[in-house]
């Protein structure tokens, strides 16, 4: 006992020794995280700063960048209708896909958290689209929604309903990609299932004793206890869906009539189609600010509805 308490008494009598010990522990901590810090500086922070710099230049890869100040941003906001079109398409997609995916995955998670037969099989089936490559998913969905020979057209024809042309129609093309995005709910489903299984059972038992119905238990117990998980999924979905690219690039290439020209697809065209790296960097910088502002707004409003269990 005396030997165990000796270091503590010694540190109390000699503050400098305690300071050196805490400094040594901090140094070891920084040493362990140093690989991540170096990787972040080299592969994330460095490119981000480079993008901000190039956004103020005229840069085509083949020639050195030339400083032009705010010209790229002035052109972007005042003389580029495709910028506003791509931004509108992206906001439209986010406004439908994000709440749609969250609500659908949450409802399915609540149902699959119950003790039903073949529960694991249903979970596996719903997660399968997440392990299918984006190219394969896009091609399968394009075939399903094909306006001439697709499965959906055949099913609607059986009940006498007309089928939209989907990806050949300016009015339906974005909605088709929203449906494809909602097909990929497996990741959110797994997160919600993990959150549901962490809710204490005694809360539901107390609600049942008070005569709560299934709806009241979901509204008064499940959603409040799951609010932090919903918040996490919401932030992730907002960040990811503002960067929608692959589905539109594979299925429509931004058509018809730029109806699926999403922001990142337009950025890709500017960078690797027109080789306007400076202008593409300005587009990327604006998107960074938009995502940062939306995320900050969600964090600020989250204080009112997110419950963290003590």
Q: What is the pTM of this model?
A: 0.86
Identify the three-state secondary structure at position 54.
helix
Q: Of 155, 180, 176, nearest to 165 (Cα)?
A: 176
- Whole-number Å distance between alpha carbons of 310 and 30: 30
* Domains, the chain, with CATH or none: 2-54 (no CATH), 77-305 (1.10.3720.10)
Per-residue pLDDT for 115 more than 90? Answer: no
233 Cβ contact partners less than 8 Å away, ≥ 6 residues apart: 102, 105, 188, 191, 192
Average pLDDT over residues 57-64: 90
pLDDT at residue 15 greater than cutoff 70 = no
| Residue 237 pLDDT > 90 | yes
State what percent of residues in the chain have pLDDT above 70: 93
């Amino acid at each position: 006992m005396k030997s165990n308490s000796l270091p503590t008494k010694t540190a109390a009598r000699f503050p400098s020794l305690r300071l050196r010990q805490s400094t040594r522990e901090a140094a070891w901590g920084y040493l362990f995280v140093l690989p991540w810090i170096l990787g972040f500086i080299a592969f994330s922070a460095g490119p981000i700063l480079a993008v901000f710099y190039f956004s103020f230049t005229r840069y085509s890869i083949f020639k050195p960048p030339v400083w032009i100040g705010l010209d790229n941003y002035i052109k972007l906001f005042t003389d580029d209708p495709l910028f506003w079109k791509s931004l509108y398409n992206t906001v439209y997609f986010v406004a439908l896909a994000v709440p749609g995916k969250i609500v659908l995955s949450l409802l399915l998670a609540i149902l699959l958290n119950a003790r039903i037969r073949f529960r694991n099989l249903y979970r596996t089936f719903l997660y399968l689209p997440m392990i299918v490559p984006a190219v394969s998913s896009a091609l399968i969905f394009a075939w399903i929604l094909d306006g001439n020979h697709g499965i959906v057209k055949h099913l609607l024809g059986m009940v006498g309903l007309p089928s939209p042309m989907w990806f050949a129609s300016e009015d339906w093309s974005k909605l088709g990609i929203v449906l494809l995005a909602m097909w990929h709910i497996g990741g959110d489903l797994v997160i919600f299932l993990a959150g549901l299984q962490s809710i204490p059972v005694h809360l539901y038992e107390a609600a049942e004793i008070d005569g709560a119905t299934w709806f009241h238990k979901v509204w008064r117990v499940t959603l409040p206890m799951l609010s932090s998980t919903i918040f996490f999924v919401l932030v992730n979905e907002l960040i990811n869906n503002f960067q929608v690219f692959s589905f539109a690039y594979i299925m429509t290439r931004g058509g018809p009539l730029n109806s699926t020209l999403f922001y990142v697809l337009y950025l890709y065209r500017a960078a690797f189609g027109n080789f306007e790296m400076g202008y593409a960097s300005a587009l990327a910088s604006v998107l960074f600010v938009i995502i940062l502002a939306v995320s900050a707004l969600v964090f600020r409003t989250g204080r009112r509805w997110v419950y963290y269990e003590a």
